[in-house]
Structure 1
Amino acid sequence: MATDNDVVDTIKLKPAAGLVDSLGAQHTLVTAIADLVDNSLDASADRISIRLLTADDALVQVEVVDNGKGMDESIIDKAMTLGHRREYGANDLGHFGVGMKAASFSHSDVLTVWSSMAGETPVGRRIRRADFSKDFSCERLSVRAATSARQRRKKVVGSTFGTTIVWTSIRATYRGANTDEARTWMANAERELRSHLGVTFHRLIEKNALTIDILVDEAKYADEGISTPVKSIDPFGYAQTGRPGYPKKIVAKSSAKSGAPSFELTCHIWPPKTDIPGFRIFGTSGEAFQGFYVYRADRLLQVGGWSDVANRSTKRQLARVVLDDADAIGPFLTMNPEKSGLRFEPAFKDALASAVAADGTTFDAFLADAESTYVEGNRRKSRRQPVITPDRGFAPGIRSVVKSELPLKRGETLKIQWKRLPKGEFIDVDFGGKVLWLNQRYRQLFAPSGGSLNDAPLVKSLLFLLTHHVFEGAHLGPKDKDNIALWRAVLGAAVELEEAMRGNSE
């Protein structure tokens, strides 16, 4: 074994420029753009516009424009330097000094940066990946061009101050000759980006600390295009907890003898049979998103996954855990450069084993509670009898909820439609045609802004729950006929009274 006495000399080993070729290898298009958003937030931006520009239906340029504090000559040179690590604040999202370069070169071959800072001359820099991978060279761009970019920034985000990052020579795009495939690729890319940004920055968007908008348009028409904002997707946005006593906080402490750090976990159990975007993140089944949600400065670093702390299970799909402690990153968690996940260190797993809530609940007990909540909810669902499928006239949202709550009879559908019926009648049953007719005379009472195919969702839902069983038999029996007569009498009188009370009677 070598000792200090064996040291003859110290040499400086500079990195080879060829390492540029591997930058951002783990980035997807959406995580790469999210990394640029992080830089904008670190620059105090609260308005960020993302522009995906196309030519002949292919993605040819990506722009991320912000209204942050911008950069001067010195700052922008450091920002373009690979591995330069500025002084990061406690709440800064930047971490490694490679983010912008890695994100950009993961999907493009040319990176251009324009920036303008209060009291400073506008600046511009450009890196060509092929040159940068040889000698780390960077092109300085003219003040004239940087000034022009500053004026374009004002049109996009309402501020001359800030930074514009531009990717060209894009590698991430559909490259076939099929126009429909190209347009579908672009539509999917936009949807995935909106979902990713919506969940990653949902806290900042919800409290109006950040506005992100996205424009997808032909490059030649982009200046006239209208962008649309990214909506928040809250992975904890359920209306009511799935189990009494939750969410519940458990505290984990390190086994270290002195100066032992601790961290707090907030354990959530979603309600069973939920079907909203916050549960189905990215349009995928909620089962895929059980696990840990780690935040740093209100930025979501990890979207689910048990990270070898527990095993994924269908019965655990309602279980989600929040870790919102920046101090835990380092001693307990290690962040990767793409900020798309974390490594849970042995210290975290050891501390979790003894973690406990104020009422004595352990992490394992939480998992057991989540499993029993799922099983109980599924058991309740299995006792419900199959029903006829609501079809034409029922809003898609109603059909979706009925499908999630009840088993459906195959090949049997029920329509609900409007037609003119005699005054004083509200419903009519067409058993053979499987149609529940509503009286057109009274439509304005329930669709005052104008009728549409899927109007009056509340009334139609109530009528479905009331009448669906009469359409599910082989024929109308005496009891069914008596029920229909009862409904006609009561609902007919009710709708006449409703109309009179509103002063709409003919």
Structure 2
Amino acid sequence: MTGTNDVVERIKLAPDAGLVKSLGANHTLESAIADLVDNSIDADASRVSIRLLTRNDRLNQVEVLDNGKGMDAAAANAAMTIGHQRDYSDGDLGHFGMGLKAASFGHSDVLTVWSTSYGATSVGRRIRRADFSKDFTCEVLASDVAAERAADRQSILGSLNGTSIVWTDVRNAYRGRNEGEARGWLSSRTEALRSHLGVTFHRLLAAKRLHIDVLIDELGEAITGPGVPLLPIDPFGYVTSGHPGYPKNLIATAGEARVKLTCHIWPAKSDVTGFRIGSKTGEQFQGFYIYRNDRLLQIGGWSDTATPTPARQLARVVLEDSGAVGPFVTMNPEKSGLKFEPVFHDAINKAEATDGTTFMAFLQDAESIYTDANKRKRQRKPVIRPDKGIAPAVRKRIGSELSFIDGEAVDVKWKRLPSGEFIDVDHPAKTLWLNSRYRSLFAPDGGSLNDAPVLKALLYLLTHHIFEGQHLGSRDKDEILLWRSVLGAAATAEQQMRGE
């Protein structure tokens, strides 16, 4: 048993500089840049410009510029200090005092910071991963060069005050010899970055409290203006709920604490941005969405409270009670996910809405919407596949509602037909012809292969069964005559009403 008077001395154990080598090991490029944007937001920035600069099509340098309040010399020294924790307010996104260093060293070997704050001399600091991992050495940079960098930032963001984070000696980028593959790698990473930032900061972007742009250009030739603006991606941006009883609030209780879980069910067969994020399907984004000060910390995932299944892909839950972060959920330094504490697992399993709906009942409601939608599809007869002339998005949606007959497909195309006729059925060629005399009525800006999508979708739904038989029967021929008569008259009347 340890005694109460066995302490003979108290010593301070400084961290070993070697820990720098493992900093940022779990950061993706997207999460690392998001961490830098967090710092910009905490500095009251309204604009952030992310610049991916290349050399010979390879990512060579990354810059994140903001128009925030900037830093003086003391603040810059603190920002470069490992584990330094300033006085965080409840509204700050920073948390551990590791973000800048971890994000940067996870993807580069040299971190340079240029900053200007009101009434202070512009400052510059640089830390090199190799040196920093030995003795935490930081280089102090010339103030006149820092002033030049401030002028560069002003030409891009319109503000002298602010901070520029620069990564050089970038690691984890495409290093191969094939320039085409290098461009493909950069394109996919840029798409992933735009998607991640668009959903992570979607509330701030939508409210116009934050503007982010992304520029890709050759190093040394980058334009001084901003890049392409980032659009918000709302993971709850459906028009109508998939279930009439949702969204619904469930309350999880743990001791004296009460945490609200807002449960959503997306409409079945959704395939829009928000349900789908970037190149990933909506099935991969079921689960919890945890916000802290309107910043998404977790983008889906059930955190071991439920098993992800295709039937649960419509279910999403919002948790934005900042009081839950800490006691019930633990945030990792990369802010890329949270660990639910056992007491919170138990609280979720017992959570209820005022109408008695439990968390498990919510999951079952989401599953039933998904299952019913797929059951309706299975009950419908297979149809001939739509092909040329029908827009890809329309073909995809038809495929989500109907199964296709193996083999042939039907095209919908334009050609010149006699005046007064609107359609012609070429059964052997599996083509529905539309009269190009009337094309300008439905494609006024000039025709293209996939023009007039509403018209073509309606005609496909009307006529597809004609093309599914081996031969045209007498009933089929009578239907074609009916369509020709009525649609021909309608097209002529449309033309006359528009004065064409």
Q: TM-score range by the shorter chain?
A: over 0.9
Residue 238 of structure 2 aligns with which residue? Answer: 238
The code of the aligned residue for 1:498 comes to: E
Residue 187 of structure 2 aligns with which residue? Answer: 187
Residue 211 of structure 1 aligns with which residue? Answer: 211
Residue 464 of structure 1 aligns with which residue? Answer: 460
Residue 259 of structure 2 aligns with which residue? Answer: 263
Hey, what's the Cα distance between the residues in 2 that align with 1:440 and 1:500? 16
Residue 401 of structure 1 aligns with which residue? Answer: 397
Contact 1:331 1:347 in 2 (8 A): no
Hey, what's the Cα distance between the residues in 2 that align with 1:231 and 1:457? 26
Residue 253 of structure 2 aligns with which residue? Answer: 253
The code of the aligned residue for 2:452 comes to: A
The code of the aligned residue for 2:486 comes to: V
- Answering whether residue 164 of structure 2 is matched by residue 168 of structure 1, we say no
Hey, what's the Cα distance between the residues in 2 that align with 1:291 and 1:46? 30
Matches for 1:63-142 after TM superposition, within 5 Å = 63-142=63-142
Which one of the candidate residues 312, 334, 341 is aligned to 2:330?
A: 334
Contact 1:215 1:225 in 2 (8 A): no
Contact 2:157 2:226 in 1 (8 A): no
Residue 486 of structure 1 aligns with which residue? Answer: 482
Residue 380 of structure 1 aligns with which residue? Answer: 376
Contact 1:290 1:316 in 2 (8 A): yes
- Answering whether residue 415 of structure 2 is matched by residue 425 of structure 1, we say no
- Cα deviation per residue 1:48-92 (whole Å; 9 max; x = unaligned)? 111111101111000001111111111111111111100111111
Task: Note the C-alpha offset of 1:159.
Answer: 1.4
Residue 453 of structure 1 aligns with which residue? Answer: 449
Which one of the candidate residues 265, 272, 276 is aligned to 2:268?
A: 272
Contact 2:156 2:225 in 1 (8 A): no
Task: Note the C-alpha offset of 1:226.
Answer: 6.1
Residue 355 of structure 2 aligns with which residue? Answer: 359
Residue 34 of structure 2 aligns with which residue? Answer: 34
Hey, what's the Cα distance between the residues in 2 that align with 1:290 and 1:443? 43
> Which is further off, 349-358 or 192-201?
349-358
Contact 1:250 1:361 in 2 (8 A): yes
**Unaligned runs of at least 5 residues, structure 1:** none
- Give the 3-state SS of the residue equivalent to 1:425 in structure 2: coil
Hey, what's the Cα distance between the residues in 2 that align with 1:80 and 1:182? 32
Hey, what's the Cα distance between the residues in 1 that align with 2:230 and 2:89? 27
- Give the 3-state SS of the residue equivalent to 2:111 in structure 1: strand
Which one of the candidate residues 289, 296, 299 is aligned to 1:303?
A: 299
Residue 499 of structure 1 aligns with which residue? Answer: 495
Hey, what's the Cα distance between the residues in 2 that align with 1:421 and 1:277? 40
- Cα deviation per residue 1:31-61 (whole Å; 9 max; x = unaligned)? 1011001111111111111111110111100
The code of the aligned residue for 2:162 comes to: G
- Cα deviation per residue 1:97-155 (whole Å; 9 max; x = unaligned)? 01000000001000000111112111111111111111111111111111111111112
Residue 5 of structure 2 aligns with which residue? Answer: 5
The code of the aligned residue for 1:447 comes to: A
Residue 280 of structure 2 aligns with which residue? Answer: 284
Task: Note the C-alpha offset of 1:285.
Answer: 2.2
Contact 1:217 1:225 in 2 (8 A): no
- Answering whether residue 429 of structure 2 is matched by residue 442 of structure 1, we say no
Hey, what's the Cα distance between the residues in 2 that align with 1:431 and 1:46? 60
TM-score between the two structures when normalised by the length of structure 2: 0.98
- Cα deviation per residue 1:335-380 (whole Å; 9 max; x = unaligned)? 0000000010112112223211011111111111111111111111
- Give the 3-state SS of the residue equivalent to 1:468 in structure 2: helix
The code of the aligned residue for 1:150 comes to: A
Hey, what's the Cα distance between the residues in 1 that align with 2:367 and 2:380? 21
Task: Note the C-alpha offset of 1:224.
Answer: 5.7
Hey, what's the Cα distance between the residues in 2 that align with 1:5 and 1:133? 38
Contact 1:237 1:278 in 2 (8 A): yes
- Give the 3-state SS of the residue equivalent to 2:221 in structure 1: helix
Hey, what's the Cα distance between the residues in 2 that align with 1:496 and 1:51? 55
Residue 319 of structure 1 aligns with which residue? Answer: 315
Matches for 1:11-30 after TM superposition, within 5 Å = 11-30=11-30
Contact 2:265 2:315 in 1 (8 A): yes
Hey, what's the Cα distance between the residues in 2 that align with 1:332 and 1:340? 17
Task: Note the C-alpha offset of 1:225.
Answer: 7.1
The code of the aligned residue for 1:478 comes to: S
The code of the aligned residue for 2:498 comes to: R
Task: Note the C-alpha offset of 1:388.
Answer: 1.6
The code of the aligned residue for 1:176 comes to: G
The code of the aligned residue for 1:179 comes to: E
Hey, what's the Cα distance between the residues in 1 that align with 2:445 and 2:3? 86
Contact 2:49 2:226 in 1 (8 A): no
- Give the 3-state SS of the residue equivalent to 1:281 in structure 2: coil
Contact 2:213 2:226 in 1 (8 A): no
- Give the 3-state SS of the residue equivalent to 1:422 in structure 2: coil
Contact 1:116 1:161 in 2 (8 A): yes
The code of the aligned residue for 1:186 comes to: L
Contact 1:112 1:125 in 2 (8 A): yes
Task: Note the C-alpha offset of 1:220.
Answer: 2.3
Share of identical aligned residues, percent? 62
**Unaligned runs of at least 5 residues, structure 2:** none
Hey, what's the Cα distance between the residues in 2 that align with 1:492 and 1:345? 68
TM-score between the two structures when normalised by the length of structure 1: 0.97
- Give the 3-state SS of the residue equivalent to 1:6 in structure 2: coil
- Give the 3-state SS of the residue equivalent to 2:37 in structure 1: helix
The total of aligned residue pairs comes to 500
Hey, what's the Cα distance between the residues in 2 that align with 1:395 and 1:225? 36
Contact 2:20 2:132 in 1 (8 A): yes
- Give the 3-state SS of the residue equivalent to 1:367 in structure 2: helix
Hey, what's the Cα distance between the residues in 2 that align with 1:308 and 1:274? 25
The code of the aligned residue for 1:145 comes to: V
Task: Note the C-alpha offset of 1:217.
Answer: 1.3
Q: CA RMSD in A?
A: 1.2
- Cα deviation per residue 1:405-427 (whole Å; 9 max; x = unaligned)? 11112232211111111111111
- Give the 3-state SS of the residue equivalent to 1:351 in structure 2: helix
- Give the 3-state SS of the residue equivalent to 2:19 in structure 1: helix
